[in-house]
């Protein structure tokens, strides 16, 4: 039996998230069905994360154990011949027996895209948040740096979360306008782990600071208070991408 790690990417617009749900189209259910057809085995697949409905992935990692002897370099080709257009595999490697896509993960990077333009763009529909009022990306970048460090991020976690330990370490965080399309503002954040809706609330808070609804330099006090009501609204899922998985 080999333990294989496959890296995939997907457009989340027409998926109800990663995890299998009864009678709903999810990335896991579609991927497992295709994998079973190729391997001729009923293979349980472990995912690196539980992305929500509408969230995208530039890199999402899955692992599974199989007795099939298809070479690693051939498996992505076989998968892509059967996967729908909104999922693609791009890498496969054999990993140690104790490797687990979720629990072996040391960190992740998320990317959030904002279309900051007076007119919407149909080619970015459900791929970026459309925000028509002018935004100061340099201000947002300076404010985003206050997320860096080890903090209790209770204020940036959905009230529906039942996670007890809300301490996470953010190692990188920043905002910029993309040089090849200055309509697009990109927020990136790397951490050892993320809470439910944490990135979307971080973005929502930056948007409200930029709009003047939350005072500048408030993020440290919002973190310290640990009260969800002090942070900004949860930004829409459409602009969120799981960008990198770190092992």
Beta-ladder partners of 177: 185
Total length of the chain: 247
Rounded to 10 deg, the angle between the 137-144 and 198-210 helix axes is: 130
Residues with a known catalytic role: 52
Structure token pair of residue 105: 């993960």
Tell me the C-alpha distance between 154 and 32, whole Å: 34
CA dist 50 and 89 (Å) reads: 18
DSSP H/E element including 228? none
Q: How far apart are CA 67 and CA 71, in angstroms?
A: 12
| Tokens found for residue 185 | 């503002």
- Say if residues 2 and 70 touch (Cβ distance below 8 Å): no
């Amino acid at each position: 039996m080999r333990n294989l790690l496959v890296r995939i990417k997907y457009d989340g617009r027409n998926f109800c998230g990663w995890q299998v749900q009864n009678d709903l189209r999810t990335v896991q259910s579609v991927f497992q069905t295709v994998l079973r057809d190729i391997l001729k085995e009923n293979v349980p697949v472990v995912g690196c994360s539980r992305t929500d409905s509408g969230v995208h992935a530039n890199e999402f990692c899955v692992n599974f154990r199989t007795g099939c002897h298809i070479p690693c370099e051939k498996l992505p080709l076989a998968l892509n011949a059967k996967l729908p257009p909104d999922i693609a595999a791009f890498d496969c490697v054999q990993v140690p027996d104790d490797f687990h896509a979720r629990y072996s993960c040391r960190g992740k990077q998320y990317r959030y895209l904002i279309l900051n333009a007076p007119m919407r763009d149909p080619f970015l529909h459900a791929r970026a948040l459309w925000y028509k009022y002018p935004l100061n990306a340099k201000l947002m970048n300076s404010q985003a740096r206050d997320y860096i460090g080890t903090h209790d991020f209770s204020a940036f976690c959905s009230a529906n979360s039942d996670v007890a330990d809300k301490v996470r370490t953010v190692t990188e965080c920043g905002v910029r306008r993309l040089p090849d399309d200055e309509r697009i503002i990109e927020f990136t954040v790397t951490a050892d782990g993320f809470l439910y809706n944490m990135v979307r609330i971080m973005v929502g808070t930056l948007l409200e600071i930029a709009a003047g609804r939350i005072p500048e330099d408030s993020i440290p006090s919002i973190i310290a208070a640990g009260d969800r009501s002090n942070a900004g609204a949860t930004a829409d899922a459409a602009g969120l991408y799981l960008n990198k998985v770190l092992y």
